[in-house]
Amino acid sequence: MLTLFSILFIFSIFSTATTESNVQAMFVFGDSIVEAGNNVFLDTAAKCNYFPYGVDFPSGVTGRCTNGKTPADLLGLLLGLPHLLPVFYDPQTRGSSILAGVNYASDGAGILDSTRQSQHVISLSHQIANFGETTLPDLKSQLNGSFALSSYLSQSIFFFFIGGGDYMANCTTSSGVAAECDLQSLTELLIRNYTNLLTRAYDFGARKFVVFNLPQAGCAPFFKRQNNGSCVDLLNEGSTLFNNALRPALENLSEDLPGFSFVYINTSGIINEIINDPTTYRLKVTNGSCCFADPDGIRPLCVEGTEPCPDRSIYAYYDGSHPTEELYMHLSTKAYSSDLQTEAYPFNVEVLANLNISLMLIGAPSFHTRDH
């Protein structure tokens, strides 16, 4: 059981975060779990830019698909970044505003360019291209040259949370019911593409990677509701295959690419622990949505304009598929400070942040990626 001391410790970590940090910046890539408002600026229906989303966020509705902060927001606070990161597609995200990092995540995005392409979301390859082709030259002009830029990038965190949407798009129907798909072939394709895209980020100068594995999305309230109260095993099997292949892929990259350092966050294991023992984490509702979800069962999102549950702190899920800030806080705290390799491997994000990567291993960032 969490003691009162440990509960207070979790909150103290966030309340004492300062601008003093070994981390220069954080660059966030991913899907709706870490979406912070990019899709608001895009011609897409994949948006969470309405109430009751953002009910607990300081500035209200932003496009975040939860009641408050995302795991990327919370990890940024723990790392001591001076402010929440701006989103890439905001026209004001240029110049000095990008020096603490940028969020490129897009609701509905996948590792594959084909995932939800018809919805005009920004796939991982395009997110990384946005970093390399737009942000990187802007940073270079502000930091006075390649060497300063390389040093800055080596002290920055590159955050990745993506992949679940690829399984949902390829292995379920529009209403969330399991559909025929070749999980093994899909997983191999995803890991191959993911590895190539992480290598592309490395070519652009990234050296410190924080990579979250996939939660068991098939047990989220939306999918259980569509499956007569049972988890959608197909989605969970896909997550398991993906997670089992992801860590070895990261280890291979660390062997092949000089200076490549990573933390692999066991999102699935951490969330399963929280869901299976909710009282330890002060949660009471793990099978339902805090907000009023789509009554037609077509989308897992909150119904616009409806009132959410009055006490968000006791819910694991805010809508049918996205957790609450409360659950994200526990996930982010473990990512940052856990000493258990079953949660953060081979060490936690705090250790990664303090690693000194030799400038001999950095090299100048490339504005042209190698062929893959």
Q: Each residue of 241-284: pLDDT tens digit?
A: 999 999 999 999 999 999 999 999 999 999 999 999 999 999 99
Residue 35: the pLDDT is 98
pLDDT higher than threshold 70 for residue 57 = yes
Dihedral sign computed on CA atoms, order 306, 294, 168, 270:
positive
Closest by Cα among 194, 199, 165 to 34: 165
Residue 372: the pLDDT is 40
* Residue 289, H or E segment: strand 285-289
pLDDT in tens, 339-371: 999 999 999 999 999 998 765 455 556 655 444
Pairing of strands 26-30, 157-161: parallel
Rounded CA-CA distance 372/149 in Å is: 25
pLDDT higher than threshold 50 for residue 293 = yes
| Burial classification of residue 325, based on how many CB atoms lie within 10 Å of its CB (0-12 exposed, 13-18 middle, 19 or more buried) | buried
What burial letters (b/e) apply to 296-307, b meaning 16+ CB within 10 Å?
Answer: eeebbbbeeeee
pLDDT in tens, 139-181: 999 998 889 999 999 999 999 999 999 999 999 877 677 778 9
Catalytic residues: 32, 319, 322
What CATH number was assigned to the domain covering residues 4-361? 3.40.50.1110
Rounded CA-CA distance 283/363 in Å is: 47
Separation of CA 304 from chain center = 24
Q: Residues 180-184: contacts with CB within 8 Å, 24+ apart? A: 181/234, 183/234, 183/237, 183/238, 183/241, 184/241
161 forms beta bridges with 30
Q: Which two tokens stand for residue 272?
A: 């399963």
pTM for this one? 0.92
Rounded CA-CA distance 84/37 in Å is: 12
Amino acid at 310: P
Domain-by-domain residue ranges, the chain?
Answer: 4-361
Rounded CA-CA distance 208/363 in Å is: 14
- Name the band, by pLDDT with cuts 50, 70 and 90, for residue 17: very low
pLDDT in tens, 89-126: 999 999 999 999 999 999 999 999 999 999 999 999 99
Rounded CA-CA distance 177/215 in Å is: 18
